[in-house]
Amino acid sequence: MPRVRKSMLKSGSKKKAQASFSGKLPPRKPKNVDVRPREYLTETEVESLIDAAASQGRHGHRDATMILLAFRHGLRVSELIALRWDMIDLDSGLLHVTRLKHGVNSPHPLRGAEIRALRRVQREYLETPYVFVSERGSNMTASNFGKLLARAGRQAGFTAIPGGV
């Protein structure tokens, strides 16, 4: 026979829980297929997202560079915001990606546009260990990146952006 706890013996606890439930269920979350046709962005869509991010605010170039690197190298948001300057070799054009969630760490080649964008970010944000920093000098957070991606998506005319990039 299963063991019975004292909390299970309290009379009416199940009835009280049922009485507090009003009978209305929250609306079901729509399936992703119903919200957007696919779970990825095309290169032209990413370019329009980058252009929209670049035209916004004081940190438009930083935001556009974040989106560019995330798209080109398939970085998770947590991998993107954790990038440090010691992981990037601009002279030889390599990005040493430290993967999370049991991914394989590997060096990625950087293309010309990425190197130029990163050099500009390095000039604008001096003396920081992290590549992407906030106005206050601390590293970016996943929430910051989500907000800038949402703003750029609205300006680019997207109704929904697939998770991450």
- Please tell me the distance from the alpha carbon of residue 150 to that of residue 147, in angstroms, as a whole number: 5
- Please tell me the distance from the alpha carbon of residue 96 to that of residue 70, in angstroms, as a whole number: 14
Q: What is the pLDDT of residue 100?
A: 85
| Cα torsion through 103, 147, 71, 100, rounded to 10 | -10
pTM for the model:
0.75
Task: Identify the sign of the CA torsion 85, 59, 126, 120.
Answer: positive
41 vs 110, higher pLDDT? 110
Compute the average pLDDT of residues 93-122. Answer: 92
∠ CA 100-103-104, rounded to 5°: 120
Q: Are 57 and 158 spatial neighbours (Cβ–Cβ below 8 Å)?
A: no
- pLDDT band at residue 3 using 50, 70 and 90 as cut-offs: low
Helix axes 142-156, 60-73, angle to 10 degrees: 100
Q: What's the CATH class of domain 40-154?
A: mainly alpha
Compute the average pLDDT of residues 34-39. Answer: 77
> Residue 139: helix, strand or coil by DSSP?
strand
Q: What is the pLDDT of residue 57?
A: 85
pLDDT digits (tens, 9 = 90+) for 120-164: 999 998 788 999 998 888 889 999 999 999 999 999 998 777 654
In angstroms, the Cα distances linking 48 to 55, 143, 155 are: 11, 22, 9
